[in-house]
Amino acid sequence: MERFDLCVIGGGPAGYAAAMRGIDLGKRVLLVERDRIGGTGIYNGALTSKTLWEIAQRVSSTNELMRTRGREPFRLSWEEVSKAMNEAAFERKYLYACHMQLLASQKDEPGKGSFHHERGNARFLDPNTLLIERPDRAIRAQADHIVIATGSRPRTIPGVEVDERSILTSDGVFHLEDFPKSIVIIGAGVIGCEFATIFSLLGSTRVHLIDRADRILPCEDADVTDLIARNLERKGVIIHRQAKLEKIAALNGAVEYHLSYSDGRTETVRVEKALLSVGRTANVEGLGLVEAGVNTDPKTGNVLVNDTRTSQAHIHVVGDATGTNMLVNLGEMEGRHAVEQLCNGITAPLSYDNISTIMFLDPEVAGVGMNEQDCRSRGIAYRVARVDYSCLARAIAMRRTKGFFKVLVTNDAEMHVLGMRAVGDHASSAIEAVAMMMKLGIPIRELADLIHPHPSITEGVQECARLLLGTSTFKPEVFADKMQCYTWVPAEAKSVAA
């Protein structure tokens, strides 16, 4: 039985990052993966869905140009779309395969990190011993430190039978044989809205979106969600707002669903396919957590963690396996952090403040830090500046002027950045500088003084900074429909000031 300094269970983004950090720290590392290295970071998830979004964006942009010229719309077959997705997945897979092969070929040397890979299902026999099983063999391995990075799977709805043919999850949707003529998406969070965007942009599918709330993407401010909803509806998406799914079933090659509304109405709709987009569930079953002495939540089954540490100090959980914060960038951050705690004595906990995110919608949405509803729910006074894309030379040149930048700062003389939202083409390109400012505590005037490239989308962020300082190129009193700058303070602060 071999012994390792560090064993990582799961080769998705979080697990792979943890294993590589272990090598950095001179550890003898074992990475165990039961299926494919890369996990949902490549397959049935981040890379494939974003490849699909990129294709959909190009098809839609081409067709907008076609319409202005009075030409027939451009269409791709699902076979052509699938080929592009598979090529993207293969390229990423090839990078991992080459990297792992070269790492594994290096000999173990004392004091130098080394990499070992085993394919199979791993489960604990005791807190330090794993049994790794494959159909043809089983081996045991011991490790001083263990990181659980087993990922997640799509959540299902009790009473709804998922066959991955008519009623799909995000795993099954990538294995369609053709574009469905119509599809209902259950769940109007980020993933549901992303798939609604993709299918509507590709132009071959009638999309229905079921939303239990009064607006989609309820975690974002209304100005963000209203723009996204308008664009979805402009592309033909039917949004069932404040709707409760009473029943859904596959019937004779189609899907029939029944809705009830808050005003007492009911509705029955028949479509070709259904996609469940109601979150994901951590993959922690079958790991032998009892034998490992790892405590779990009796209600959810999730591992109980403090930072990334479990009830066993030498066992950590990262990425989707935590049951929360299911994003690739956070999973990688947690994987690295867990190994630094285990192997390098780092004690400071992770900070989830100022995480940058992207939502692949129409248009793209990127954000960092708090939005307005976050500040208001916490009673934090703020100033906000918003600049429309129609004021930006680059957006005008691209003929893509739907969108805006919005920057929130503290309501004081320093005006430190609290958060930012960017909605529009190239939105994600503008986030990183603001995220760095937030991390370093740099006030907004520093951003206003930078020389930005012209023409660029990031000039919109600079114009927000100038707007807050009262030095903007365009004046809000002239372009009130395109530029806004205002202050919000809690009601109790207003009464005290009065």
Polymer length in residues for the chain: 498
**Mean of pLDDT values over 88-111:** 90
- So what's the pLDDT on residue 481? 87
- So what's the pLDDT on residue 496? 52
Residue 456 has pLDDT above 80, yes or no: yes
- So what's the pLDDT on residue 323? 93
Residue 202 has pLDDT above 90, yes or no: yes
* Rounded Cα–Cα distance for residues 368 and 251 (Å): 44
Question: Which residues have CB under 8 Å from 460's CB, separation 6+?
Answer: 387, 389, 391, 392, 395, 404, 405, 422, 430
Q: Which residue intervals of the chain bear CATH 3.30.390.30?
A: 363-492
Residue 495 has pLDDT above 60, yes or no: no
Q: Which 3 state secondary structure label does DSSP give 362?
A: coil
Average pLDDT over the chain, rounded to an integer? 93
**pLDDT tens-digit series, residues 313-337:** 999 999 999 999 899 999 999 999 9
Residue 451 has pLDDT above 50, yes or no: yes
**Mean of pLDDT values over 456-476:** 92
Counting Cα atoms < 13 Å in the Cβ hemisphere of 492 gives: 4
The residue written with tokens 């269409």 in the block is 75
Superfamily, domain 167-278: FAD/NAD(P)-binding domain (3.50.50.60)
Which tokens is 62 given?
């081409």
Quick one: what percent of the chain has pLDDT higher than 90? 83
- So what's the pLDDT on residue 350? 92
Residue 26 has pLDDT above 70, yes or no: yes
pLDDT confidence band for 142 (50 / 70 / 90): very high
Rg (C-alpha) for the chain, rounded Å, is 25
- So what's the pLDDT on residue 477? 87
- So what's the pLDDT on residue 66? 78
Q: Which residue intervals of the chain bear CATH 3.50.50.60?
A: 2-42+85-154+281-344, 167-278
- So what's the pLDDT on residue 473? 86
> If you ran DSSP here, which 8-state letter would residue 357 be given?
E
2-42+85-154+281-344: CATH architecture: 3-Layer(bba) Sandwich (3.50)
Q: Rounded to two decimals, what is the model's pTM?
A: 0.93
Whether residue 9 contacts residue 121, with contact meaning beta carbons closer than 8 Å, is answered with no
pLDDT confidence band for 408 (50 / 70 / 90): very high
Question: Which residues have CB under 8 Å from 42's CB, separation 6+?
Answer: 36, 48, 89, 92, 93
- So what's the pLDDT on residue 24? 94
> If you ran DSSP here, which 8-state letter would residue 149 be given?
-
pLDDT confidence band for 233 (50 / 70 / 90): very high
- So what's the pLDDT on residue 44? 84
72, 73, 78, 84 alpha-carbon torsion, rounded to 10°: 120
Interaxial angle between packed helices 222-234 and 190-202, expressed in degrees from 0 to 180 and rounded to the nearest 10:
30
Q: Tell me which amino acid residue 97 is.
A: A
> Worst-scoring range by mean pLDDT, 47-56, 232-241, 460-469, 475-484?
475-484
Residue 498 has pLDDT above 70, yes or no: no
CATH class of 363-492: alpha beta
- So what's the pLDDT on residue 344? 86
The more confidently predicted of residues 483 and 64 is: 483
Residue 309 has pLDDT above 70, yes or no: yes
Whether residue 401 contacts residue 469, with contact meaning beta carbons closer than 8 Å, is answered with no
